[in-house]
Amino acid sequence: MTATEGLARLQAQFAAAVLGEDGAGFARHLAGDAGAGLRGLAIYRNAILANRRRALRAAFPVVARLVGDGFFDEAALRYGEACPPGGADLNRYGATFPAFLAAYPHAAAMPWLADVARLEWAWHESLAAADAPGMDFAALSRVPEGDQPSLRLLLHPSVRLVRSAWPVLSIWEANQPDRDGTPEREDGADDVLAWREAQRVRLARLAPPEAAFVDAVARGLALEEAAGITDAWDFTPMLQRLAVHGMLCGFSTGDRVPA
Amino acid sequence: MTARFPPCAPDPRKAGIGLRTAHFEALARSRPALSFLEVHSENYFADGGPSLAWLERFRADHAVSLHGVGLSLGSADPIDREHLARLARLAGRIEPALVSEHLCWSSIGGEHLNELLPLPYSEEVLAHVCDRVSSVQERLGRKILVENVCAYVRYASSTIPEGEFVAEVARRTGCGVLLDVNNAWINSVNHGTDAMRFIDALDPSTVGEIHLAGGEVTAEGVIDTHGAPVFPEVWALFEKAVARLGAVPTLVEWDVGIPELAVLLAEAAKADAILASSIERAPRKAAA
């Protein structure tokens, strides 16, 4: 057994003892009296679970408020068991928490909960997304008219689209710190656009054709194809809205990928 | 690549504070004289956005220390190259005066426990840790500081006293030491060891930074919470440490239940006074 193999075994056993609450089997690796060793392992277990809970709570404050502390802490614990962090950066922990909630039996009575979580994760990702230079509108205006249908637009890295069958934006808004939790709408679908502008994440509700158009642009479709997704709908106002709020940052024509 | 920021070294006669989101506005307004600002490196691993923009803004006025909590230097897993690449990218962007990590492990078998877990102090582990520190220093193209951690358990397989272990990592790799006086004190209380013996084992020329923090006294022992004022006993040990080491850039850590900026600045001012008195007694020869 090499030195690293010995260390790997010790660390794996430590992790199992701490997370599995089976400290007794690990006690033989510890110095000092057994009681002190078990108390030490319990301190680590509490700290590890608290760190994970705190990270999820920071990323999903609306979900936490909706379900209450006891429910959230239990869900965080079960999620940590099912999907432990794969990296050291806890700011990126929780990407699969919405999917976990979608399948979580105790959340079955709240079918909109997972989509609220998806919206919160989109917000979270948008805040930390890469910066990008603004669109070169002078260059864009020089694109010959004949090439315009083949224009492909590059969206800013902070742009996210969350499409839900539930009124997730109303729920999200109603559960901000200054609101009492009563949503303005309790049914109906919400398509929500998230983006970062002046270093703040903004959210806006889109009409269905607008969402379909943004989704098509995000998938890299040419303008002509993106516009064709919804019949008899003028995409120009939506395009202007994307431009005015800094959501466009590049373009290409023909078959080239935008850069 | 040309430097984007003026070179900026921490002033060993003055303490620094941790940079916290809650204090961004107040700090930018009041611009207090601080030796340096320290951040948890991982909190600035974002690709872009406001956190990095703020940090760059503060870097224009202050020396910055990047303090990592996630590199898992002592893990038996391979070093997470993506994590290290993000750290290198951040260091390239911020041009920090100090880069530090913990002498601990936090991941195994690809699972991250997100906690600073203690290592057994043996010859085998020493060799392993030294390889890793060297590899990190090579990738970053700079010296790092390694910090002694708080240990709530001790291993039967430890054969080297902690102070000697830390000193030997510095001697073999050329890295510096971030002496956490609070961790040294808590370990001495919880395990009945001598904190000053730990500090005496270090080569003063390798100690590049000192940490102070508060904790909580519980039935299970003293816990390093970073959520309270520094213990009187820790201030006393800090005085003895700087009497031996000379003035070293010092940080008061406060990571949970973060108080108003004024409270942090008052803790930093206490450290300033102790650093100043140590300089009167014995000027430090050269900053590490």
Instruction: Read off the pLDDT of each residue in A49-68 and give the average, rounded to a whole number.
Output: 97
Local confidence band at B286 (pLDDT 50, 70, 90 cut-offs) = very low
Q: How far is A124 from chain B (nearest CA, A)?
A: 11
Token pair of A2 as six digits:
């090499």
Amino acid at A103: A
Is the domain of A84 the same as that of A124? Answer: no
Q: Which of B53, B80, B83 sits opposite A199 (nearest CB)?
A: B53
Instruction: Read off the pLDDT of each residue in A103-127 and give the average, rounded to a whole number.
Output: 98
Percentage of chain A exceeding pLDDT 70: 98
Mean pLDDT is lowest, of A24-28, A163-167, B28-32, B97-101, for A24-28
For residue A236, being part of any structural domain is answered with yes
Residue numbers in B near A30 (CB within 8 A):
153-156
Please give the DSSP secondary-structure letter assigned to residue A256: P
Q: Which of A15, A31, A55 sits opposite B113 (nearest CB)?
A: A15
User: B282 with B242: CB under 8 angstroms?
Assistant: no
When mean pLDDT is compared over A234-243, B195-204, B214-223, the highest value belongs to B195-204
Q: Which of A39, A42, A51 sits opposite B114 (nearest CB)?
A: A51
Mutation target for B interface from A4, A5, A7: give the one with most B CBs within 10 A.
A7
Mean pLDDT is lowest, of A144-148, B6-10, B152-156, B191-195, for B6-10
Is A199's Cβ below 8 Å from some Cβ in B? yes
Whether residue A253 is predicted with pLDDT greater than 90 in this model: the reply is no
Is the domain of A100 the same as that of A51? Answer: yes
Instruction: Read off the pLDDT of each residue in A144-167 and give the average, rounded to a whole number.
Output: 95
Local confidence band at B4 (pLDDT 50, 70, 90 cut-offs) = confident
Is the domain of A52 the same as that of A164? Answer: no
For residue A1, being part of any structural domain is answered with no
Residue numbers in B near A157 (CB within 8 A):
47-48
- Count the Cβ atoms, other than its own, within 10 Å of residue B201: 15
Q: Which of B43, B152, B191 sits opposite A91 (nearest CB)?
A: B43
Domains of chain B: 15-281 (3.20.20.150)
Please give the DSSP secondary-structure letter assigned to residue A29: G
Whether residue B102 is predicted with pLDDT greater than 50 in this model: the reply is yes
Of A90, A110, A130, the position where a domain reaches its end is A110
| ipTM exceeding 0.90, yes/no | yes
Specify the pLDDT at position B84: 98
Residue numbers in A near B158 (CB within 8 A):
31
Residue numbers in A near B220 (CB within 8 A):
39-40, 42-43
For residue A121, being part of any structural domain is answered with yes
Mean pLDDT score of chain B, rounded to an integer? 94
Q: How many domains would you assign to chain A?
A: 2
Is B113's Cβ below 8 Å from some Cβ in A? yes
Whether residue A139 is predicted with pLDDT greater than 50 in this model: the reply is yes
Is the domain of A30 the same as that of A57? Answer: yes
* Nearest Cα residue to A128 out of B27, B86, B236: B86
Q: Which of B72, B75, B158 sits opposite A31 (nearest CB)?
A: B158
Residue numbers in A near B110 (CB within 8 A):
86
Q: Which of A29, A86, A130 sits opposite B48 (nearest CB)?
A: A130
Is the domain of A65 the same as that of A126? Answer: no
Check A11 against B76: CB less than 8 A apart: yes
Interatomic CA distance for residues A241 and A258, integer angstroms: 19
Of A61, A89, A110, the position where a domain reaches its end is A110
Residue numbers in A near B77 (CB within 8 A):
8
Is the domain of A134 the same as that of A102? Answer: no
Interatomic CA distance for residues B180 and B145, integer angstroms: 11
Interatomic CA distance for residues B205 and B64, integer angstroms: 21
Whether residue A107 is predicted with pLDDT greater than 90 in this model: the reply is yes
Whether residue A233 is predicted with pLDDT greater than 90 in this model: the reply is no
When mean pLDDT is compared over A32-41, B69-78, B251-260, the highest value belongs to B69-78
Q: How far is B72 from chain A (nearest CA, A)?
A: 8
Contacts of A132 (CB under 8 A, 6+ apart): A156, A157, A249, A250, B48
Question: Domain range spanning residue A178?
Answer: 114-259
Instruction: Read off the pLDDT of each residue in B266-270 and give the average, rounded to a whole number.
Output: 95
CA distances from B46 to A94, A169, B17, B67, B286 (A): 15, 25, 22, 16, 35
Q: What is the pLDDT of residues B213-246, one digit of tens each?
A: 999 999 888 999 999 999 999 999 999 999 999 9
Tell me how long chain B is.
288
Residue numbers in B near A24 (CB within 8 A):
none
For residue A77, being part of any structural domain is answered with yes
Specify the pLDDT at position A244: 95
Residue numbers in B near A13 (CB within 8 A):
none
Whether residue B256 is predicted with pLDDT greater than 90 in this model: the reply is no
Is the domain of A53 the same as that of A127? Answer: no
Instruction: Read off the pLDDT of each residue in B101-128 and give the average, rounded to a whole number.
Output: 97
For residue A42, being part of any structural domain is answered with yes
Is B220's Cβ below 8 Å from some Cβ in A? yes
Please give the DSSP secondary-structure letter assigned to residue A182: -
User: B102 with B73: CB under 8 angstroms?
Assistant: yes
Residue numbers in B near A199 (CB within 8 A):
49-50, 53
Specify the pLDDT at position B287: 43
Instruction: Read off the pLDDT of each residue in B269-274 and give the average, rounded to a whole number.
Output: 95
Which 3 state secondary structure label does DSSP give A128?
A: helix
Is the domain of A125 the same as that of A11? Answer: no
For residue A214, being part of any structural domain is answered with yes
Q: What is the pLDDT of residues A179-223, one digit of tens each?
A: 999 999 888 999 999 999 999 999 999 999 999 999 999 999 999
Is the domain of A103 the same as that of A131? Answer: no
Element (H, E) at B222: strand B221-223
- Count the Cβ atoms, other than its own, within 10 Å of residue A62: 21
Is the domain of A151 the same as that of A170? Answer: yes
Interatomic CA distance for residues B11 and B34, integer angstroms: 8
For residue A190, being part of any structural domain is answered with yes
Mean pLDDT is lowest, of B31-40, B125-134, B160-169, for B31-40
Is the domain of A90 the same as that of A62? Answer: yes
Interatomic CA distance for residues A25 and B218, integer angstroms: 25
Is A103's Cβ below 8 Å from some Cβ in B? no
Check A6 against B117: CB less than 8 A apart: no
Is A95's Cβ below 8 Å from some Cβ in B? no
Whether residue B288 is predicted with pLDDT greater than 50 in this model: the reply is no
Is B156's Cβ below 8 Å from some Cβ in A? yes
Whether residue A122 is predicted with pLDDT greater than 90 in this model: the reply is yes
Interatomic CA distance for residues B253 and B102, integer angstroms: 14
Is B48's Cβ below 8 Å from some Cβ in A? yes
Interatomic CA distance for residues B183 and B213, integer angstroms: 8
Is the domain of A209 the same as that of A119? Answer: yes
Of A110, A132, A153, the position where a domain reaches its end is A110
* Nearest Cα residue to A59 out of A107, A101, A18: A101
